[in-house]
Structure 1
Amino acid sequence: MDRERFDAGLERVIIALVLGALCFGPLANGASDPVPFLVGQYLITAAALVWGVRLWCKPRPRLLLPPVTWAVLAFTGFAAWRYFAADIEYVARLELIRIVVYALAFFLIVQNLHRQETVNLVGYTLVFLAMAVACYAAYQFFTGDFRVWWLPGEYAGRGTGTYINPNHLAGFLELILPLGLAYTIAGRMKPVLRILLGYATCVIAVGLGVSMSRGAWVALAGALLFFFGILLFHRGYRLAAIFALLLMGASAFIVVPKADVLRQRAARAVEELRGPEYSRYLLWGPALDLWRENPWLGAGPGHFDYRFRSVRPQEIQLRPDRAHNDYLNTLVDWGIVGLGLVLSALALLAAGLARAWRHLGGTAADLGHRRSNRFAFALGGSAGLVALGLHSFVDFNMHIPANALLAVAFLAFLTAHLRFATERWWMAAPRLVTGAITLLLLGAAVFLAVNFRRQALEQWWLAEARRLPLFSSLQAAHYEAAFAVEPRNFETAYLVGECYRVQSWEGGFDHRELAGEAMTWFERAARLNRFDSYSFLRHGMCLDWVGRSAESWPWYARAEELDPNGYYTVAHVGWHFVQRENYAAARPWFERSLRLQWKHNPIAANYLEICNRRLREAAGRDDTVGPSPLTK
């Protein structure tokens, strides 16, 4: 009896930790920044350790292992193997940490949170959490106060809720809305709770509307067609489904033509397809070029953004971060093997749900007119994943940790529902298997704990450095302290080099020593990330500064090779020729830089004017070399 009570207590601890991780991420700006993600990482790690203890509390533990679990395990193993062959170790390790956290969350839910009472608790909590976030988004939209907590908003005119990007808010809401709708229509509960869930679902719909996310609107429409299409085959809900579909069609027919905002967003989508200054569609061709370099294994975990400069089109001068297509981004980073494993997990889940559907209450013969929370979660969770899956064709919600963790949780809960169809997925775990699982959990926990400590200290030093005067000696010392904690972070090495470079350019008596120190750090950054053009660029600039221009060209050439269409890199190649007083050679580089980025490009504009003036002086008359039309 005491063992059973202790086991129940451990189960409640796991539920609290997992639910805390699921709820904290959306409230912490999607956990996109390192520190909020560390909180979720800590909670999942603690839950994994508790699970390890719980395994030994049961005299005969059992494991639920449907085919989906093996696909998830295979991708996790592939990610760990791919990490060791990655070009940029630091980036690959951060990506592996995320995958280990998601995999642990998946197995924690499948093995520990499969009771219906637990599923209902998580489902209700997420619906009301989404309602609160949607209320915040509506407040932002209707009051014009677009701050996100205490942070300034970046998307005026669009509700973002607790997220920084409204598209990621929409990804969160579109995942939860079908679940709230399913509970309202098909769930078994008291009338008061049904009314509250229905109200929450309406509020979530408003939050989706004020996000102004076109991709989310289309994805939700597709998910609702799937949702009500399933209900059409259920005798008890057929009339409600037909009515809802007719209502959706009529609303779209009436509202869309009259809504100026919707027309403006649709017009902007058409403009993007024609190729504006910045369009996500322009990223997809270069992404495919990157994938072709290593089609089977991909460019490397999380490497897309760092490899993009070498293939960037002239129209894209911003840093894209992701490919704005989760499937394509996965293909680039993980290759055919990685994407195949991900899609196989989704296909196995879909096939399992199709076979288990009647056991979940998915047919009229099984359920009749009774309501079922089991059926409600299966329907709402599936529709939510459909919505997020459709939205992922034009965005990167699966690279937002909070949304990715929620999607993995839905995948895990639906996988656990497969147990209603058959007993064959249950496997007894003898002590040898239990010991092996415990060792795996301990290994994962140690890996996450070591990196948790390292990242926490690194982020503390980086945060302290950002508060100090820019490029000061004190700031350089803090960046060096951060690098000492995490000596594989090339970005920190670059920042240290920048501090010393700027101090050197102040022209003090020790400017040569400072330039030498800067070059040491830029070399270090280039070794840690051989695809970073700016490390090579800055090294060349330091050589020019100390009068070693004859040695600097290979560094500029390498920078230009890595970023041939980057206006900033191209402008600095021209700057190099100015330092050598070769104005005729410098001028074409500045002109090209201005063609790539004619706004907010003072380096190219100002130095082009200097080149024109010096060339006129050399020619001996003012009309020989006219100013470039780009500077008029």
Structure 2
Amino acid sequence: MQSLALIFFLFGFLVAGVLGTETRLLFFWPGAALLGLAGLLATLKWRLRVVFPPSEGCLAAASLFAGYIAARCFVSPVAGYAREDLYILAGAWVTYMLTVTAASHPRWRTALLAVLLVLVLGNLAMGFIHLSGHWEYHVVPSFMRAATVGRIGGFFANPNHLGAFFTMVLFLTGGFLCFGRGGAALKMCLGFLCVSMMLGVALTASRGALMGLAAGGVIFFLMSLGIVWQTQRQFFWSLASGGLVVALLGGAVLWKVNEEYLKGREMTSPMANDVRLEIWKAALAQHAQSPLIGTGSRMFYEGSIQYRSTELSGSAGEALFAHNEYLQMLADYGWVGLGLLVLVLLTHLWNGVAFLRWFVTHRFLQTGRVLSNNLALCLGALTAVIAMMVHAFFEFQFHVAIPALTAALLLGLLANPGIEATEKRGAKLPSVRLLSKLLLTGASGLLLSGPWLHGRSDYHLARAEIAQVQGVDFERLQHLNAAVDADPSNAEAHYQRGLALLDKLTADQRSPEHPVLKRATVDLEQAVALNRFHYLYALALADAYDAVGRYEEALHQIQHAIALAPLHEESRMALAVHWHRLGDFVQAEQAYLWAGEAPAWNEEGTSRWIDNYRLLLQHAALMRAAPPQP
């Protein structure tokens, strides 16, 4: 059963690596189900064969962190947002626990590295497709990647996340290349893949990934030299000089590959004036609302709108993420979440360094061999974690499934790097193993139930979006009905169905007694009840209330939307349209002019305040020209 669990684990990781490459859960569900099945089989086995004992300090820190994040997800104000963090956390916990326990044998760890390299090859192949000019190509039919022309994305929607994935796998592969066992052919292949991943990071043009790559490269070089100094001192100077030359040449190649694009980005968006600086202000403003435990899982979706900086360009889109995992943790989970995250990182890094020290002072003296797969993977995981910590200052890669799962795998390697029980006994902590297994049971159950409870609704919602783009209104409404039926707690499904029903109505049909309008109003009320922080939900409900003559309630929803999005043209313009409908042209004009001063504009091609203001002027002119009523 243990071997079967590991087979499902490897397959689930592979599927998640191909599909779980967005911040939404839509494509993660197949991989989640397979990971849940792997975790369930491991739980049924309960007593897993573990080759090396894991660090109970690492297990304790990881269990505390996972338990807190899960608890915060369950009590967050918007369940739909919280489940995105919750299910990625569940997948990461299954990955972590199986890496620490059942996959502690070197054979299975080699298989994990092989799966990662298969994903690397797949991402490189996708990168070639993007470079050929098909920048929007997506691996799933009928879907398009939100492309950034000139930057490859692989399976990922965001090139920065591909850079993060390549960086983590690169150092793991580099460790195996330098210190792992294997013949010349294997080492040549690994060397080729390392060079390919470095070029891939360069072609993503992710400055954060390049910084992480540079930081990890320095640490990898210094740690490798430290191991050589302790074990093979006669080769130290030749390897140090040769490694330095290779590092300089590699840096020069990476610079030349990306020189023009990076110079262009620096000219148009210099690091000193990067838009992230304004986004970080919004994250800190949200954090100030609840410093200790944060405002809730992924609540920066709304915090980025409510606390938007006035220094941002009016045409800049919504940030949605803090573009800094540490600030996002502060905003969503508070000081408790950030403190536990730091504890997890420090305990695992310390355990990895302890293994390197044990290897050079004990294991090497016994065997006389420096080549070891455990040493290779531990060194690679250490440097990969440091690289991802640096990159996390500039991105939100761990809100995407496969980078989060890869990070969990790296931490699992550090939690159980391969210290033999007869040589070094770690501290025993009561109930840690029981707690971690109970969390594994819960995570597995979540991953297995999620596709049925929420995945079907996500699927129908995506199909409805495609139907809307294609202009097939009947099919759109059918899928929206199926999405609501599959998951009544899906606020977005209620909102989209409410909009679709409103779109069907003509001006003459917008009467208080019309059944379609009543049904649309109920849907929008449900959407607002499920997520009272989304200003567009409130504005849509206000539109429905105006149509049915519930004007006071409509005004209340508009005022609520203005509080949620105080800088946005859309919320201000809704107030103007409300007064316009009621015939109060004085207040309507004031609101239209106020909307014209909004620091955050509506997108080009959508309704703008000036268009509605012109309509108001036309209506006023017609009223003046009309003969007086007797």
Q: Provide the TM-score with structure 1 as the length reference.
A: 0.86
Q: Which residue of 1 aligns with 2:273?
A: 274
Contact 1:131 1:201 in 2 (8 A): no
- After superposition, the C-alpha distances for 1:350-388 in whole angstroms (9 at most, x for unaligned) are 222222212234899758673222221111121112211
Cα shift at 1:497? 1.6
Larger CA deviation: 102-111 vs 411-420: 411-420
Aligned mate of 2:41, from 33, 50, 62 = 50
Instruction: For 1:573, give the aligned amino acid.
Output: L
Instruction: For 2:448, give the aligned amino acid.
Output: A
Alpha-carbon distance between aligned partners in 2 of 1:35 and 1:542, rounded to the nearest angstrom = 29
Cα shift at 1:412? 0.3
Alignment partner of 1:15 is 2:6:
yes
Alignment partner of 1:489 is 2:494:
no
- After superposition, the C-alpha distances for 1:282-309 in whole angstroms (9 at most, x for unaligned) are 2110111111111111111222103332
Cα shift at 1:109? 1.4
Alignment of 1:165-244 (within 5 A): 165-233=158-226, 234-235=228-229, 236=232, 238=236, 239-244=238-243
Cα shift at 1:506? 4.5
Aligned residues: 604
Cα shift at 1:583? 3.3
Alpha-carbon distance between aligned partners in 2 of 1:619 and 1:416, rounded to the nearest angstrom = 82
Alignment partner of 1:113 is 2:114:
no
Higher relative contact order (CA 8 A, sep 6+): 2
Q: Which residue of 2 aligns with 1:399?
A: 399
Alpha-carbon distance between aligned partners in 1 of 2:524 and 2:443, rounded to the nearest angstrom = 34
Instruction: For 1:295, give the aligned amino acid.
Output: P
Instruction: For 1:313, give the aligned amino acid.
Output: S
Cα shift at 1:438? 6.8
Alpha-carbon distance between aligned partners in 1 of 2:192 and 2:215, rounded to the nearest angstrom = 22
Alpha-carbon distance between aligned partners in 1 of 2:400 and 2:128, rounded to the nearest angstrom = 22
- After superposition, the C-alpha distances for 1:407-435 in whole angstroms (9 at most, x for unaligned) are 10111012111634854348799xx9999
Larger CA deviation: 374-383 vs 215-224: 374-383
Q: Which residue of 2 aligns with 1:305?
A: 301
Aligned mate of 1:27, from 8, 15, 18 = 18
Cα shift at 1:243? 3.0
Q: Secondary structure at the residue paired with 2:154?
A: coil
Contact 2:32 2:447 in 1 (8 A): yes
- After superposition, the C-alpha distances for 1:203-238 in whole angstroms (9 at most, x for unaligned) are 111211211111111210111011101123223464
Alignment partner of 1:290 is 2:286:
yes
Q: Secondary structure at the residue paired with 1:294?
A: coil
Q: Secondary structure at the residue paired with 1:189?
A: coil
- CA 1:177–1:63 in 2, change beyond 3 Å: closer, same or farther? closer
- CA 1:529–1:266 in 2, change beyond 3 Å: closer, same or farther? same
Alpha-carbon distance between aligned partners in 1 of 2:518 and 2:548, rounded to the nearest angstrom = 9
Alpha-carbon distance between aligned partners in 2 of 1:610 and 1:313, rounded to the nearest angstrom = 31
Alpha-carbon distance between aligned partners in 2 of 1:561 and 1:362, rounded to the nearest angstrom = 62
Instruction: For 1:19, give the aligned amino acid.
Output: L
The CA RMSD over aligned residues, in Å, is 3.3
Alpha-carbon distance between aligned partners in 2 of 1:338 and 1:190, rounded to the nearest angstrom = 45
Alignment partner of 1:127 is 2:117:
yes
- CA 1:84–1:194 in 2, change beyond 3 Å: closer, same or farther? closer
- CA 1:286–1:347 in 2, change beyond 3 Å: closer, same or farther? same
- CA 1:22–1:290 in 2, change beyond 3 Å: closer, same or farther? same
Larger CA deviation: 581-590 vs 522-531: 581-590
- CA 1:250–1:110 in 2, change beyond 3 Å: closer, same or farther? closer
- CA 1:65–1:599 in 2, change beyond 3 Å: closer, same or farther? closer
Contact 1:144 1:156 in 2 (8 A): no
Alpha-carbon distance between aligned partners in 1 of 2:417 and 2:204, rounded to the nearest angstrom = 32
- CA 1:527–1:146 in 2, change beyond 3 Å: closer, same or farther? closer
Q: Which residue of 2 aligns with 1:459?
A: 458
Aligned mate of 1:590, from 581, 589, 592 = 592
Cα shift at 1:547? 4.3
Cα shift at 1:248? 3.3
Cα shift at 1:39? 1.7
- CA 1:138–1:102 in 2, change beyond 3 Å: closer, same or farther? same
Q: Which residue of 1 aligns with 2:628?
A: none
Alignment of 1:51-70 (within 5 A): 51-55=42-46, 64-70=54-60
Instruction: For 2:533, give the aligned amino acid.
Output: F
Alignment of 1:323-334 (within 5 A): 323-334=322-333
- After superposition, the C-alpha distances for 1:563-597 in whole angstroms (9 at most, x for unaligned) are 11122222222211221233333334334434432
Instruction: For 1:308, give the aligned amino acid.
Output: S
Alpha-carbon distance between aligned partners in 2 of 1:147 and 1:111, rounded to the nearest angstrom = 38
Sequence identity of aligned pairs in percent? Answer: 21
Q: Which residue of 2 aligns with 1:85?
A: 75
Cα shift at 1:333? 1.1
Larger CA deviation: 383-392 vs 132-141: 132-141
Unaligned runs of 5+ in 2: 626-630
Cα shift at 1:448? 3.3
Cα shift at 1:195? 0.8
Alpha-carbon distance between aligned partners in 2 of 1:438 and 1:281, rounded to the nearest angstrom = 41
- CA 1:241–1:381 in 2, change beyond 3 Å: closer, same or farther? farther
Q: Which residue of 1 aligns with 2:501?
A: 500
